[in-house]
Chains A and B, each alone.
Chain A
Amino acid sequence: MKRIQKVLGILLTVALATTSFVGCSSGSSNTSSSSTSTSTDSSKTSETTNKDTSSAPVETKQEEVKLKWVVWDKDSTAYLQPAIDAYKQIKPNVTIELLDVSSQEYQDKLSVMLSGGADDIDIVTVKDTPGYSSMVNKKQLEPLDSYIEKDNIDLSVYSGLTDQIKMDDKIYELPFRSDFWVLYYNKNLFDQAGVAYPSNDITWNEYAELAKSLASGSGADRVYGSHHHTWRSTVQLGAILDGENSIIQEDYSFLQPMYDMILQMQKDKTIMDYASLKAGSIHYKGVFFNEQAAMLPMGSWFISTLISGIESGEADSTNWGIVKYPHPEGVEAGTTLGTITSLAINSASKQKEETWEFIKFFCGEEGANVIAQTGTLPAIKTDEVVATIANMKGFPTDENSKEALKVAKTYLEMPVNEKSSTIEQILNEEHDLIMTDSIAVDAGLKEMGKRVTEELNK
Chain B
Amino acid sequence: MEIKTAKNTVTKMSKRELKDNLIAYSFILPNFIGFAVFTLIPVLFSFALSFMNWDGANAITFAGFDNFARLFNDETFKIATWNTIYYAIGTVPLTMVCSLGLAVILNKNIFGRNIFRTIFFFPYVASLVAVAVVWNMIFNPAMGPVNQFLMSIGMENPPRWTASTVWAMPTVIFVSVWKNMGYYMVIYLAALQGISKDLYEAASIDGATSWQQFKSITLPMLTPTTFFVSIMLTISCFKVFDLIFMMTQGGPGRSTTVLVSHIYNIAFKEFSYGYSSAVSMVLFAIVLVITIVQFRMEKKWVSYM
Contacts and interface: CB of A to CB of B under 8 A. Distances in A.
B235 A18 contact: yes
Chain A interface helix/strand/loop/mixed: helix
A422 B56 contact: no
Given A138-B57, A275-B163, A280-B140, A24 B267 contact: yes
Interface stretch (B17-25, B176-184, B192-200, B269-277): B269-277
A433 B252 contact: yes
Contact of B39 (A11, A19, A114, A436): A19
A76 interface: no
Given A138-B55, A139-B57, A422 B269 contact: yes
B260 interface: yes
B38 interface: yes
Given A18-B283, A112-B56, A10 B42 contact: no
Interface stretch (A25-33, A85-93, A166-174, A377-385): A25-33
A273 B283 CA distance: 37
A177 to B, nearest CB: 24
B29 interface: no
Interface in B136-178: 136-137, 139-144, 160-165
A10 B291 contact: yes
A276 B141 contact: yes
Contacts of B136: 279-281
Among A10, A27, A432, the one with the most B-chain Cβ atoms within 10 Å of its Cβ is A432
Contacts of A11: 288
Chain B interface helix/strand/loop/mixed: helix
A16 B75 CA distance: 29
Interface residues of A, number: 51
A138 B56 contact: yes
Interface in A1-36: 6, 10-11, 13-30, 32
A274 B38 CA distance: 42
Contacts of A114: 57
A275 B141 contact: yes
A55 interface: no
Given A13-B291, A21-B280, A281-B136, A425 B141 contact: no
Contact of B163 (A15, A21, A24, A279): A279
A438 B56 contact: no
B56 A26 contact: no
Interface in B28-76: 35, 38-40, 42-43, 45-46, 49, 55-58, 75
Contacts of A19: 38-39, 43
A28 B49 CA distance: 13
A50 interface: no
26 contacts: A10-B295, A15-B43, A17-B287, A18-B283, A18-B284, A19-B39, A20-B241, A22-B46, A23-B39, A24-B264, A25-B276, A26-B45, A26-B49, A28-B273, A32-B56, A278-B163, A278-B251, A279-B140, A279-B161, A280-B136, A422-B269, A422-B270, A425-B269, A429-B251, A432-B251, A438-B253
Interface of A: 6, 10-11, 13-30, 32, 108, 111-112, 114-115, 134, 137-140, 273-276, 278-281, 421-422, 425, 429-430, 432-433, 436, 438-439, 451
The list of the 6 closest CB pairs from A to B, nearest first, reads: A275-B163, A138-B57, A26-B42, A433-B253, A115-B56, A276-B142
Interface of B: 35, 38-40, 42-43, 45-46, 49, 55-58, 75, 133, 136-137, 139-144, 160-165, 232, 235-236, 238-239, 241, 250-255, 260, 263-265, 267-271, 273, 276-277, 280, 283-284, 287-288, 291-292, 295
